[in-house]
Chains A and B, each alone.
Chain A
Amino acid sequence: DAGITQSPRHKVTETGTPVTLRCHQTENHRYMYWYRQDPGHGLRLIHYSYGVKDTDKGEVSDGYSVSRSKTEDFLLTLESATSSQTSVYFCAISESRTSGPGELFFGEGSRLTVL
């Protein structure tokens, strides 16, 4: 199993509060991703990183920011949480495609509820 740890695993917060989710990997993979999963929508890409301090936006990036100061950590921040950000958040990692199909390995997910 890929060494990916997400924290916290569960969080309940109130509208307007800041929230940071952490993804930590022990695989030394270059690429890291944040997805959100909502019923009827599958998984949608929020942000991704292709190296330390190199990040880019995904399909649903509004209201989210990310940071990657070390290879092993990728942080997702909701500056001011809204109820529409209630979701299950998945972190994923991948190797460079030169060494395989480049499949994503996922963390266990973080369930966030914004009241």
Chain B
Amino acid sequence: AQKITQTQPGMFVQEKEAVTLDCTYDTSDQSYGLFWYKQPSSGEMIFLIYQGSYDEQNATEGRYSLNFQKARKSANLVISASQLGDSAMYFCAMREGQLGYSTLTFGKGTMLLVSP
């Protein structure tokens, strides 16, 4: 079974609108972390936001927020007020356990296109 599932291969949104990118995860660990990365067409991987499994509040970073629903094992990324520069591939990833290192497992990604 896939540990990280991103069911939306592609998403379209108009500039200034909000968009939600879906991510569900599968783990039996109590301690885990969820990450979102952005990969623009230039290819670099940019860390966006992190949610720990014990964090009670949803993580927010500027226009990015993580809608964390632990019982449903979902960690959706919400981008508010989309901008043209948000057009990119977005990856959800998970770290399991309490080890000091982060062997992240990534989903297959969602391509987001923002139109004017």
Q: Residues of A at under 8 Å CB distance from B?
A: 30-31, 33, 35, 40-45, 48, 50, 58-59, 88, 90, 92, 94, 96-98, 101-106, 108-109
Contacts and interface: CB of A to CB of B under 8 A. Distances in A.
A109 B107 CA distance: 18
Contact of B102 (A41, A42, A43, A103): A103
A46 to B, nearest CB: 11
A90 B44 CA distance: 9
13 contacts: A41-B108, A42-B109, A43-B91, A45-B103, A48-B101, A50-B100, A50-B101, A94-B102, A96-B101, A97-B100, A101-B35, A103-B47, A109-B43
B40 interface: no
Contact of A102 (B43, B95, B106, B109): B95
Contact of B107 (A42, A97, A101, A102): A42
Contact of B108 (A42, A94, A101): A42
A97 B98 CA distance: 9
Contacts of B11: none
Contacts of B95: 102
Contacts of B100: 30-31, 50, 96-98, 102
Interface residues of B, number: 24
Contacts of A98: 100
B68 interface: no
A106 B44 contact: yes
Nearest to B102: A102
B45 interface: yes
A108 B33 contact: no
A108 B109 contact: no
Contacts of A97: 98-102
Nearest to A58: B103
B18 interface: no
